[in-house]
């Protein structure tokens, strides 16, 4: 496909359950980002990869959140022992070189909507 692909699109989890969200970026895109978007809010930065290296994870809200991109392509965001406050849309975005700050263009997926009961 031509765009960023995320799965599942919708996930309902019981409180305490572990979830895994997958992101398949645009082929050749070096940078990959995860954002969390709560209802009525803008996207909030979670973490960032350049190829397989996780260069910034300052936005991850707790140690229950973990992200990986082992081969520099597909990425997985894992949330352990989900809580109700984790309910949100999780957006993945990718961007090619050069530096994002120079172009500002992130290519977003459709998001994974997580509902924790």
The answer to whether 104 contacts another protein (rule: CB under 8 A) is yes
Nearest of 89, 82, 90, 91 to residue 116 by alpha carbon: 82
Closest distance to another protein from the beta carbon of 48 (Å): 6
How many residues belong to the site for another protein (CB under 8 A)?
30
Q: Is 102 in the site for another protein (CB under 8 A)?
A: yes
Q: Is 106 in the site for another protein (CB under 8 A)?
A: yes
- Residue 42 CB, nearest approach to another protein (Å): 4
Q: Length of the chain in residues, anyone? A: 117
Q: How far apart are CA 15 and CA 33, in angstroms?
A: 26
Site for another protein in 31-60 (CB under 8 A): 31, 33, 35, 40-45, 48, 50, 55-56
Helix (H) or strand (E) holding 78: strand 75-79
* Residue 66 in contact with another protein, rule: CB under 8 A: no
Q: Does 8 bind another protein (CB under 8 A)?
A: no
Element (H, E) at 30: none
**96 binds another protein per the rule CB under 8 A:** no
Pairing mode, if any, of strands 19-24 and 75-79? antiparallel
């Amino acid at each position: 496909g031509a765009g960023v692909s995320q799965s599942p699109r919708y996930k309902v989890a019981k409180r305490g359950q572990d979830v895994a969200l997958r992101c398949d970026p645009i082929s050749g895109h070096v940078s990959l980002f995860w954002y969390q978007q709560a209802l009525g809010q803008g996207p909030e930065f979670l973490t960032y990869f350049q190829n397989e290296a996780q260069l910034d994870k300052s936005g991850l809200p707790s140690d229950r959140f973990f992200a990986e991109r082992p081969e520099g392509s597909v990425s997985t965001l894992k949330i352990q022992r989900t809580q109700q406050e984790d309910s949100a849309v999780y957006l993945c975005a990718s961007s090619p070189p050069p530096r994002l700050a120079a172009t500002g263009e992130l290519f977003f997926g459709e998001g994974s909507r997580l509902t924790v009961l």
